[in-house]
């Protein structure tokens, strides 16, 4: 994380925070609404993070040079390194994002090779570091996108969105690893063995860290919404 060239002293920061709090409280008092209260809670959480003694987890300059290099030079590598530091600091949910998979146009093979080399360096270093620190068994890692790519090249030389078949990879979390569950045909076009739905997958990744996926949240208007839709079938192969 790059350091700003200038930041207000602590006293100035607190003065501004108090002023903002006064403005927020007046607004919430005069305009009672769920949105205003949610905004107030979000601001409080942000300030709690800024004041936390664990905020140093964001400072990657504290990592040895060899550690930073192990994650690779792409933007994805430092993101994975930051994820490890946040897990060590006790953050329960961390997301690392890698863009440019939307390969609708030409050079899809070269683009994918570049992206996969970034994934290989960052992800392998993250798995290794978590394992060496005794954190992998208590940390579920999920590598996935929201759909696959078409098994055929399109007229522009790329691949389009494809929801019939794609893969996800899970590490850690106490699951039974070292296995492949399900299969597609030789074209990667159709699931031919052990099909799983999005509901099955989401229920399973909630079950692994003991999240009650049957819990219902009542939305605005009184509508109950379950965390994961019904008719789920857990992926039992992952449980020892």
The whole-number average pLDDT for the span 202-206 is: 97
The model's pTM is: 0.83
For the chain, percent of residues with pLDDT exceeding 90: 69
Does residue 7 surpass a pLDDT of 70? no
Average pLDDT over every residue of 125-152? 96
pLDDT in tens, 47-96: 888 888 888 999 999 999 999 999 998 989 999 999 999 999 999 999 99
Residue 3 has pLDDT above 70, yes or no: no
**Spatial distance between the Cα atoms of 134 and 136, rounded to a whole number of angstroms:** 6
User: What are the residue ranges spanned by the domains of the chain?
Assistant: 7-51
Give the pLDDT band (50/70/90) at residue 6.
Answer: low
């Amino acid at each position: 994380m790059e350091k700003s060239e200038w930041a207000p002293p602590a006293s100035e920061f607190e003065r501004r925070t108090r002023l903002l709090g006064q403005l927020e409280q007046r607004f919430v008092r005069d305009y009672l609404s769920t949105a205003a209260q949610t905004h107030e809670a979000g601001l409080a959480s942000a300030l709690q993070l800024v004041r936390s003694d664990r905020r140093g987890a964001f400072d990657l300059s504290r990592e040895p040079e060899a550690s930073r290099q192990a994650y690779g030079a792409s933007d994805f590598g430092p993101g994975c390194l930051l994820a490890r530091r946040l897990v060590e600091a006790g953050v329960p949910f961390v997301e690392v994002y890698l863009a440019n998979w939307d390969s609708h146009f030409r050079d899809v093979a070269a683009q994918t090779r570049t992206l996969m080399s970034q994934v290989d360096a960052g992800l392998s270093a993250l798995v290794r570091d978590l394992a060496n620190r005794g954190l992998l068994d208590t940390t579920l890692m999920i590598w996935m996108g929201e759909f696959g790519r078409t098994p055929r090249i399109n007229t522009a030389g790329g691949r389009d969105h494809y929801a019939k078949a794609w893969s996800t990879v899970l590490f850690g979390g106490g699951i039974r690893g070292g296995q492949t569950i399900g299969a597609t045909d030789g074209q990667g076009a159709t699931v031919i063995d052990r099909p799983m739905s999005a509901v099955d997958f989401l229920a399973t990744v909630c079950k692994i860290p003991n999240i009650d996926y049957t819990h219902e949240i009542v939305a605005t208007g009184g509508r109950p919404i379950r965390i994961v839709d019904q008719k789920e079938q857990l992926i039992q192969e992952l449980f020892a």
